[in-house]
Amino acid sequence: MSVNLKLLNAFLLVAEHRSFRRAAELSGRSQSALSLQVRELEGQLGAPLFHRTTRAVGLTPEGEALLPHARRANAELEAGLRRVRAAAAMEAGRLALGCPPHIAETVLPPLLAAFHRAHPRVAIHIREMPQAAVLEGVRRQDLEFGIGPRPAHAPSLGFTPLREEAILALAVPRFIPKGARSLPLAALGRLPILITSGANTMRAMVEEAAASIGTSFDPCCEVQMPATAIALAAEGLGVAVIPELALPRRRPPGLRVLPITDPPMLREVGLVQLRGSRLSPAALAFIGLLEAAIMRPAV
């Protein structure tokens, strides 16, 4: 038996509100038209669905039996319509995100390639910039979301953690004790250090940790990008201090990679979004890929 969805919707409205008048108001139909639709459904089913009196409307046993199935059918239809609308939006959508350059270099390329294959008509806009600029772009809504470390003192922004990343030391073997599996922060302070300059979160984290154990360090070379520090470390200039997600998939040969410890150097990395904002279907689809990929440790 094929039942018209309008008839089923009319039944649900009356059943939920126990009133033909109220159901008619909510549906924008006349009470007589709604009553006619319910009677048509009853005729198709061969059973009355409502007890009608001048004072109240109640469900018959047949109506009570139909109600949960009608609710489920309506919910499934609504879910299907939402999926279709989301798929249609993806046909000509836009993905705008920001992240530090090292994440754009090491994490995003395979994900963006996979995303583009699945959604070739979505325009992709990536902004590689320092974390402070990413946060400002999210605040201004130039970016739907950002990827990076947990922001401090940013009440207008929400943060969804995806993973922890270690702060790493990279160096040729002559700088690393034989057999060492980690590098204590105090020992790092006695070595020539290659580190990013400026007020970035990793630099501040390392300096604060060093101060907490009564030590400090004087970098032998400050750079703008972790990739530069890695290249200099491969030439034997010193020990590169980088976030784990900056570690390239094809690292230079001869470099040892060790986590910095005592204290452990870990930070959260995740999604930054303006509080109260809703992500587009394109953003949600990309985040699904990102969540699966970023959980895999680089070391």
d(CA 245, CA 294): 9
CATH class of the region 5-90: mainly alpha
167 or 32: whose pLDDT is higher? 167
SS3 194: strand
Lowest-pLDDT choice from 97-106, 170-179, 196-205: 196-205
- Which CATH number is associated with domain 94-161+269-294? 3.40.190.10
Find residue 169's DSSP bridge partners: 241, 258
Q: What tens digit of pLDDT does each residue of 67-77 get?
A: 899 899 888 88
Q: Give yes or no for residue 298 having a pLDDT over 50.
A: no
Lowest-pLDDT choice from 53-57, 145-149, 211-215, 222-226: 53-57
- In 3D space, the residue among 286, 290, 294 whose CA is nearest the CA of residue 144 turns out to be 286
Confidence of residue 6 (pLDDT cuts 50, 70, 90): confident
Percent of the chain with pLDDT over 90: 50
Element (H, E) at 266: strand 266-274
Q: What stretch(es) of the chain map to CATH 1.10.10.10?
A: 5-90
d(CA 206, CA 240): 13
Q: In this predicted structure, what is the pLDDT of residue 204?
A: 87
Q: What stretch(es) of the chain map to CATH 3.40.190.10?
A: 94-161+269-294, 164-267
| Per-position DSSP letters for 199-254, written without gaps between them | S-HHHHHHHHHHHHTT-----SEEESSHHHHHHHHHTTS-EEEEEGGGS-SSPPTT
The two three-digit tokens of residue 65, written as one number: 């039996």
Q: In this predicted structure, what is the pLDDT of residue 32?
A: 87
- Number of other CB atoms surrounding residue 90 within 10 Å: 18
CATH class of the region 164-267: alpha beta
Pairing of strands 50-52, 57-59: antiparallel
Q: What tens digit of pLDDT does each residue of 218-270 get?
A: 899 999 999 999 999 999 999 999 999 999 888 888 899 999 999 999 999 99
- In 3D space, the residue among 128, 126, 100 whose CA is nearest the CA of residue 111 turns out to be 126
Confidence of residue 216 (pLDDT cuts 50, 70, 90): confident
Confidence of residue 86 (pLDDT cuts 50, 70, 90): low
